[in-house]
Amino acid sequence: MPELPEAETIARSLKDCAVGLTIRRVFVLRRDVIEGDVGRFRQGLRGRRIERVGRRGKNVVFELDGGMVLCVKLGMTGRLLFRYGLGWPADSWPRHVAVGFHLRPDATLIYDDVRRFGRLELLDAAAWAERSARLGPEPLEASFTAAALAQILAASRAPVRSLLLDQTRLAGIGNIYANEALFAARVHPARPAASLTRPEVGRLHRAIRAVLRRAIAARGTTIRDYRDPNHGAGDFAPRLRVYGREGSACPRCGCTIKRLVLAGRSTFLCPRCQPGKGWA
DNA sequence: CATACGTCCTGCCAGC
DNA sequence: TGCTGGCAGGACGTAT
């Protein structure tokens, strides 16, 4: 569920509330969300201080003293919820707690995940570096240029949306922002990646970065499940122009937005703004 | 090697 | 009102 803007929002929020605190105790209520040995996970985290919190792609990354890294992959419905003091907002008591991190008598970090597609993994610095190296470039870094995108797209005849979703080629983009970026760039999602013209690649590059920046500024998209560590919903959902809007009017040309299934997943597009002769 | 599909899991919602 | 099928922001493993 959470894509780059949501992971970024979570990481920024945790910088304020969790950095500097020490993990006193770890409660694992759902063993299946832990990657690797649960005992090693709990022992390895106990007593460690949270030095920094960041993000890589869609992953929230905790750097701990001693060089260990806790990598949280949120899957579709994973949440990192922070609690000061006692109690939660009455309407958002976590109902699917998978892991709890006791930080102080009055501060707890919860990993909550309805569907449990998310994973938590404790890695040493070398293993983390190796993992990170397997992910594609960060789309918001200055080094991610239009030429870099062109190089990624030129290597494949697969539908351009599949490339955008492939974390080993480009990190952080999921189905919502892939659809939004392709709409903004006026490129049909099923177009073979290598078939995009130079101007189309340029538009897609700009669109990817613009939609991600705007979504971060809005603190992410909440369709249903996403919440930041303080239980806040993201504000970007009303600004989505095609995702989830089948049957409504295209905000650019007014014709009807269509949904189609591509590689088993919903794809939303405006058939007039994103012409795809033969791919529609 | 690259791409496509089924699978993991629970909850919600439309339609009957 | 209650049941059923379809669908969901992800990504892995296996088959082709």
Residue A32 Cβ under 7 A from any strand C atom: no
Q: What is the mean pLDDT of residues A65-89?
A: 91
A27-67 per-position pLDDT tens digit: 999 999 999 999 999 999 999 999 999 999 999 999 999 99
User: What token pair was written down for A165?
Assistant: 């979703």
Is A58 among the residues known to form the active site?
Answer: yes
pLDDT, averaged across chain A: 95
Q: Residue A227 — very low, low, confident or very high, per pLDDT cuts 50/70/90?
A: very high
Q: What is the mean pLDDT of residues A237-247?
A: 96
Is A2 among the residues known to form the active site?
Answer: yes
- Contact (CB, 8 A) for A242 and A273: no
A205 or A92, greater pLDDT: A205
The pLDDT of residue A91 is 66
Residue A134 Cβ under 7 A from any strand B atom: no
The pLDDT of residue A241 is 97
Q: What is the mean pLDDT of residues A138-165?
A: 96
Phi/psi region, residue A247 (left: phi>0; alpha: psi -120 to 50; beta: rest), is left
Say if residue A280's pLDDT is above 50: no
User: What token pair was written down for A59?
Assistant: 């992953």
